[in-house]
Structure 1
Amino acid sequence: SLPRLRVKRAHQANPLHAALLDAVHTTITEREAAQLLDHTALDQFWEALCQHAVASGPGAAENDKRLSWDAVCHVRADLPARFAPYLTPAIFLHFQRSERSDISLLQYFNYVLRRASLEEAQAELHAYDRDYDGCLTEAEVQEWISDLVPTLHLQTLNTSFHKFYFYAAARKFFFFLDKSRRDRLPIQAILLSPILTELFELRASDADADAELPREYKRSNWFSSYNTLRVYGQFLNLDADHNGMLSRAELGKYSHGALSNLFLDRLFQEVRTFDRQMDFRGFLDFVLAVENLPTPEAMAYCFRALDMGGRGGLDALTLETLFRAVSEKAHRVFGHEEVPAEDIVNEIFDMVKPATPGVIRLKDLIDSGIGGTVISILIDCRGFHKYDNRD
């Protein structure tokens, strides 16, 4: 059966109150949209800047023009008021100036392009903010992504998979940005996140709408159709009893059984499950964690399982217990030679250099710069084998 998706039922607001909010929301959204710089406006902006820009010197390239503050003032006088916010002293002073106190035309216009793109995204996101609190729920992010789909390079994604694409795409935003687990994301956090940039890299222009993305790029971008089908396929292959959920035993087959039994047992004690079964949303969090171990968010996810005593720190005994589970399974399943746990624990303490001797906390792992490697050693037979056979 299809993977199950557990969703909280939305609170039903008073109809009159909801209608008033919708009217206010629509008015504000339309006002914001009217101020955006579309392609035509950006072309007009570029032409005005070029008219007042000067060559950087004799024999300089055409694309190496400069803008003085006087030139910017002339552009502001020539263009309608909607362009004024992009032609301020603060923006001009943001750029490195030459001895003549002028700045690069290209750098200036690239800034305008990036800002216009962010402002367009901001207006789009606000349109989905139903209660206008500056935040989006996961359902609202999914709705926004569903409306983005026609503009993305997703030609190979069948419409029957769109539902799971929306879940997978939205889940990355929440896994990395919803640190307090409020199930709501500030729009500002979305706009400032590199995750948004990763998603927008799949936006297709009219010229390349039918072009095929490079294979390696599709593999590395979480939002590609290739990646959605990969993760969805993993879930279906693990779901041996076809009930749309993963048991502890079924998840144990992930990565050809390379994760330690102790880590998996602890994971099912710490993460949200339903009758000791993991749904597709939980599996997405799991995949995002194990595939992004060097990130603070992935380390935090795994640390909850590693912290067996719930004391917020890993002492030598805990580290030895965790590593023995890896070493024993690597020997039993993969035929690797067992390694003394004490030696590895000493190496881990030497690498991490915790603030409190003898106890490694999450912050120590993050600050060390090698926290992902340490966690891989403690949960993954292949991760330890890679570490043990490093050059």
Structure 2
Amino acid sequence: MSETVKTNKNEDTVNNNTTTEQKPADDSQIKLNNKLKEKLRKYIKKLDGTSITKEESIKLEVDTFKQLYKPKLAGKEDSYKHIPKFYFKLPKPDDTLAQKLREETRAQFLQKKSKELLDNSELKHLWSLLEKTNGSYNVTNNDELIIDYFQFKKIRDEAGPKYKPYFTAEVFGRLQAAEGGVGRVRAVSLFNYVMRRVWLQQTRIGLSLYDVTGQGYLTEHDLESYIAELVPSLAALDGLDSSFSSFYVCTAARKFLFFLDPLRVGRVRIRDVLSCSFLDDLLEIRFRHVNPGVFAARLPTMPNLRWRDGLQDLSRFSFSARKQEAAGRPSVPVQGP
């Protein structure tokens, strides 16, 4: 019995040897192993007899990195070598030269932006191009004047580079989506979009002139200055008593602050002023046919305000101003009649 067990073990060992001999290693794997061994031998030979510290190892790694990225670092782009300064502190109030330099720079920047806008003659030229796209256009039925995307691009090319910001694929996509997604837009809708965008940009530039710090915010004093210079151009307020103008300016400015400054930090964003409807209501009374009480009737501080009895409203304002002074809050000075 023992002899049979021994013979079985011998047969197993023979079978194992034959199986290992039947699976020779792949030639590619052998070459890869030899290559790795050769690299390891070279690395060991390189370090043989030398002692590299941690600092020297880091330096060697940095030098190797610079050598590998040398073509990119040696390029013409300065941003690869130096990080540009992107934050500038506001000048101190006592630094007159820096303040004047900042004001002059902002004035030139806003003047440059205003030149990029379309004027009345350029808007008329745009409308004439829209009319030429359809030979059967009728003035009495201008709502039927529609254009497709090919005509849209043709008008953009004929108008010139100054019109390109208003003739992008995104603009056409939004307008045609508003029309129902039929692949065409009405010329009136496109023209109204251009006029609205030009008006918003003009108003943004006008409001930015009162932004002293240039951070995109307006304080109560900045809003009052803007509205005070706007009052003479409001045709509907021609008959307004001059003693009442300071009250109007104060109330209008505080309406913006009441709704657009919920945290009561004393300033509002110019972007919020443009996006709300209060500015539209204020500018509506530039036209004589608009009732002067349209804007004043919506004032939250005095909802029943009308422009009929100026003395009564002026007495109310004087009473509220005295209450604010008693509470230690600033008020707008009131001129006597």
TM-score, normalised with respect to structure 1: 0.53
1:71 corresponding residue in structure 2: 151
Match of 1:93 among 139, 163, 173: 173
Q: Is the 8 A contact 2:281 2:294 kept in 1?
A: no
Change (3 A) 1:66 1:55: farther
Q: Is the 8 A contact 2:237 2:292 kept in 1?
A: no
1:41 corresponding residue in structure 2: 122
1:236 corresponding residue in structure 2: 315
Structure 2: distance between partners of 1:124 and 1:81 = 24
Q: Which amino acid aligns with 1:41?
A: E
Q: Is the 8 A contact 2:285 2:292 kept in 1?
A: no
Partner-residue secondary structure (3-state), 1:67: strand
1:168 corresponding residue in structure 2: 251
2:264 corresponding residue in structure 1: 181
Change (3 A) 1:100 1:278: closer
2:161 corresponding residue in structure 1: 81
Change (3 A) 1:201 1:243: closer
- Listed as ranges, the gaps of 5+ residues in structure 1 are 1-10, 205-210, 247-272, 282-391
RMSD: 3.2
Structure 1: distance between partners of 2:181 and 2:263 = 48
Q: CA deviation at 1:155?
A: 0.8
Structure 1: distance between partners of 2:209 and 2:150 = 38
Q: CA deviation at 1:50?
A: 1.7
Q: CA deviation at 1:163?
A: 2.2
How many residue pairs match? The answer is 233
Structure 1, residues 25-70: CA drift from partner, whole Å, max 9, x if none? Answer: 11111011101222222111111122124669x9x93431101111
1:107 corresponding residue in structure 2: 189
Structure 2: distance between partners of 1:139 and 1:228 = 24
Structure 2: distance between partners of 1:172 and 1:182 = 15
Change (3 A) 1:172 1:55: farther
Structure 1: distance between partners of 2:280 and 2:120 = 19
Change (3 A) 1:243 1:199: closer
Q: CA deviation at 1:279?
A: 6.7
Q: CA deviation at 1:197?
A: 1.2
In the TM superposition, 1:196-275 aligns within 5 A as 196-204=279-287, 211-214=288-291, 217=294, 220=297, 222=299, 227=306, 233-234=312-313, 236-237=315-316, 245-246=322-323, 273-275=324-326
Per chain length, whose mean CA-contact separation is higher, i.e. which structure has more relative contact order (CA < 8 Å, sep 6+)?
1
Q: Which amino acid aligns with 1:122?
A: R
2:102 corresponding residue in structure 1: 21
2:209 corresponding residue in structure 1: 127
Q: Which amino acid aligns with 2:114?
A: A
Structure 2: distance between partners of 1:102 and 1:212 = 36
1:140 correspondence with 2:222? yes
Q: CA deviation at 1:244?
A: 5.1
Structure 1, residues 132-165: CA drift from partner, whole Å, max 9, x if none? Answer: 1111111111111122223212111123332222
Q: CA deviation at 1:180?
A: 1.4
Structure 1: distance between partners of 2:188 and 2:276 = 24
Change (3 A) 1:115 1:84: same
Q: Which amino acid aligns with 2:221?
A: A
Change (3 A) 1:229 1:138: farther
Q: Which amino acid aligns with 1:69?
A: Y
Partner-residue secondary structure (3-state), 2:143: coil
Structure 1: distance between partners of 2:307 and 2:94 = 34
2:199 corresponding residue in structure 1: 117
Q: Is the 8 A contact 1:53 1:105 kept in 2?
A: no
Structure with more helix by fraction: 2
Partner-residue secondary structure (3-state), 1:133: coil
- Listed as ranges, the gaps of 5+ residues in structure 2 are 1-91, 333-337
Partner-residue secondary structure (3-state), 2:237: coil
Structure 2: distance between partners of 1:64 and 1:173 = 40
Structure 2: distance between partners of 1:18 and 1:277 = 31
Q: Is the 8 A contact 1:245 1:279 kept in 2?
A: no
Change (3 A) 1:232 1:16: farther
Partner-residue secondary structure (3-state), 1:94: helix
Structure 1, residues 233-292: CA drift from partner, whole Å, max 9, x if none? Answer: 3461586xx79513xxxxxxxxxxxxxxxxxxxxxxxxxx544477757xxxxxxxxxxx
In the TM superposition, 1:240-389 aligns within 5 A as 245-246=322-323, 273-276=324-327
Q: Is the 8 A contact 1:222 1:228 kept in 2?
A: no
